[in-house]
Amino acid sequence: MHRRRRKVLPDAARILVACSSPSPFLARSFCRAPPTQGSLPISSPRTFKPSSTMRPHNLEALKTAAASDLAHPDFRNIRWAGIFGSFSRGTATESSDVDVVVIEAPYDWSVTKQLLEDVLPVAWSRSVDVIHISEGQTDFRGYIQLESLLASRTIFLRDHAARDEVSRLRTLAKQTVDKGQALYSGVASRIDAVRRLVDQVSLQDFVGWPKEQHVDILSQVSLILGDLDIQPKHHAMREAF
């Protein structure tokens, strides 16, 4: 049976098909239509790698290269932006990516909008990771938000009110870190106390202990779990005690 050969479209034809496709990903990846007045050009995918000679190599160069993008109306909800990681430490190399943290005001996401994750890699010719923090936020989602606030250096500040918000969030982040360190020290002390009770005790000897000793150890372990505040409340570790 004769197999039909798959028809391969030339590059120009493939791009034309992509541009007319209803898929936003195909259109964004292959079609480079000229920008409309007052908007940023459609950015390249994150795999786009221009010449290394275009890459900023220090914090001030990053700030200059991204100034027009961060001031663009599409990013009017960004109150502040900072750089942390190797660029903030002055240890960036030719292959270093850029770690960015931004504080954002509420934004109507139903409006089509540029994404920093698309625009900044083009402005800097480097891979970019962006940490988003909300204006007015009262807690933090993971250690990375704490690190990004406390170890970052400013590259964009919207106004004096934004400066106050950065100061508030950094103070809150420092308080959170201090609280975490105190909690860790307390938990470590409780664990050491339990370890001293059962260290080098065989299972047979432990089983033979009076019930009161078992209850005492379980109570101390329960206190440790309470300090750690393991979530969710129905976690298997909680059910064991």
Q: What is the pLDDT of residues 211-240, one digit of tens each?
A: 888 888 888 888 888 888 777 777 776 666
- φ, ψ of residue 39 to 5 degrees: the values are -125, 160
Which residues have a Cβ under 8 Å from the Cβ of 72 and sit 6 or more positions away? 40, 114
22: pLDDT strictly greater than 80: no
If we measure between CA atoms, which residue out of 130, 128, 140 comes closest to residue 170? 140
* Averaged pLDDT of the chain: 79
64: pLDDT strictly greater than 60: yes
How much is the pLDDT for 218? 86
Alpha-carbon distance values, 101 to 8, 156, 169, 177 (Å): 44, 11, 12, 18
27: pLDDT strictly greater than 50: no
Q: Are 13 and 30 in contact (CB under 8 A)?
A: no
Q: Which two tokens stand for residue 210?
A: 């009076």
Specify the DSSP element, H or E, that contains 129: strand 128-134
% the chain with pLDDT above 70: 73
Task: Identify which has the larger pLDDT, 58 or 32.
Answer: 58
In this prediction, residues 26-35 reach a mean pLDDT of 38
Q: Are 77 and 105 in contact (CB under 8 A)?
A: yes
Give the 3-state secondary structure of residue 78.
strand
- In tens, the pLDDT along 92-148 reads 999 999 999 999 998 766 555 678 999 999 999 999 999 999 999 999 988 999 999
If we measure between CA atoms, which residue out of 118, 110, 97 comes closest to residue 25? 118
pLDDT-derived band at 205 (thresholds 50, 70, 90) equals confident
182: pLDDT strictly greater than 70: yes
pTM above 0.85, yes or no: no
Burial (0-12, 13-18, 19+ Cβ within 10 Å), 159:
exposed
The distance of Cα 217 from the centroid of its chain, to the nearest Å, equals 39
How much is the pLDDT for 222? 84
